[in-house]
Amino acid sequence: MNIRQAIKEIVIKRGTIRKVAEEVGIDHANLIRLMREGSDPRLKTIERIVERLGYSLSLKRKGVAKGKKESSNKTIKRDP
C-alpha cells in the first residue's frame, strides 16, 4: 500500500472528504486531488495530513529477506 492509498482509507473511515479536509486545514478539492491515482503531492503536505489525523510516517527498508532481522537502531560512528 502506498501513502496515497493509506490516506484514502483513513479519509473513508473518518467520514466525508469535506469533513477530513476541514480537520486537516486544506481545501477539500486539494484532498480529492491528492487521493487520485497518479497524484504526486509534496512530502510536507502528506506529513501535515498524516499528523493532523493522528498518525505518523516511518520509512522501511526495501528488499530485506524474510527471516532476517533488520537492525533499525543502528548507530554509525565517525572517526574524527
CATH label of the domain that carries residue 29:
1.10.260
pLDDT tens, 7-47? 889 888 988 899 999 988 999 999 998 888 888 888 888 88
User: Per-residue pLDDT tens for 46-64?
Assistant: 888 889 889 888 888 888 6
* Under 8 Å between Cβ of 3 and 46: yes
Q: Domain total for the chain?
A: 1
- For residue 71, being part of any structural domain is answered with no
Residue 69 lies in a domain: no
* Phi, psi of 33, deg, nearest 5: -60, -40
Domain that holds residue 24: 3-52
CB distance 24 to 49 below 8 Å: yes
Distance CA 9, CA 32 (A): 13
In a domain, residue 36? The reply is yes
Q: Which residues contact 31 (CB under 8 A, 6 or more apart)?
A: 11, 17, 20, 21, 24, 49
